[in-house]
Amino acid sequence: MDRFLSQTAEYALRAAAWLAIHTPRDPVRARDLSEGSGIPPHYLSKILRRLVLAGLLKSQKGHGGGFILARPPSEIHFQDVLAAVDAYPTPDRCAFGWGTCNPSNPCPLHESWSWLGGSFRDWAASTSLADVAEAAARGSADLHPH
């Protein structure tokens, strides 16, 4: 497996983080966000639409318009961004794709998969865009595409 998150999930987190770091209070045009974050424009427009529909971003039309965070970065968690693009794992998702997995009807990986999913959900619920912006300000996070 060469990627932990789907491309859509990665791009959604990258776009939201880029806004939190570079333009938390000023609207940015989709073209500038695409160039700054390294996300292809057509892919980005779909992600931005979903983030607006989820109430995470605001879209402003006209001169000086663009996209801006709808709430302070500290109030937008990774789980919010991932849920907006349908990339937030549910607790009963089966690692084998056998349908609903639970303790009374477990798949062979139920115990370890449940632990991994729970850890991921805890991380996504406790990490906000403010955390990313603070790490970037300290120089401990390189969010630019390679």
Q: Which domains does the chain have, with CATH numbers?
A: 7-138 (1.10.10.10)
Per residue of the chain (146 residues), give pLDDT as tens: 456 789 999 999 999 999 999 876 789 999 999 999 999 999 999 999 999 999 999 999 888 889 999 999 999 999 999 999 999 887 777 777 777 777 888 888 888 888 888 899 999 999 999 999 999 888 864 444 43
pLDDT at residue 143, rounded to an integer: 44
Amino acid identity of residue 141, one-letter, is A
**Contact assessment for residue 28 and residue 66, using Cβ atoms and an 8 Å cutoff:** yes
pLDDT at residue 25, rounded to an integer: 77
Give the global pTM: 0.85
Closest CA to 27 of 54, 49, 72, 57: 57
From CA 53, how far away is CA 67, in angstroms rounded?
12
Sign, Cα dihedral of 71, 52, 32, 130: positive
